[in-house]
Amino acid sequence: MSVVTPFPRHGGQVGWERLEFLTIIDLYGRMVAAGHWRDYAIRMDRDVAVFAAFRRAAERPEIRIEKRPALRQRQGVYALLGEQGQVLKRGRELKNVLAPIERRLMRLVRD
């Protein structure tokens, strides 16, 4: 009567760990408080996890933060992509990849 059926795992799924997600959501909350971002989206696939931040919900994302574990030994797991899809920063540590947004946030708060 109490049979537990596990979810099927088709090669796994890349996702955000708790500390990674808390770091991203903390930054997102500060950007919302500064009036710069209004919406976000999360996508998790077999090879990539993406956090996208929007100025308005009907637009393309202003930035995307991607996690690709397959690139761990090459360019780094994390990438910060701009609105047109250009790579703004790549690295092995999430805080270093988010540094350009942190600097922009400091300018927004000062103005």
Per-residue pLDDT tens digits for 59-76: 789 999 999 988 777 878
Mean model confidence pLDDT for the chain: 85
pTM of this prediction exceeds 0.85? no
**Strand pairing category for 39-44 and 78-81:** unpaired
Residue 67: what pLDDT?
93
Six token digits for residue 48: 């990539």
Neighbouring residues of 68: CB distance < 8 A, sequence distance ≥ 6: 14, 47, 48, 77, 79
CATH node for 18-110: 3.30.2440
Q: What is the average pLDDT across 70-99? A: 89
List the beta strands (DSSP E) in 57-106.
63-67, 78-81, 87-91
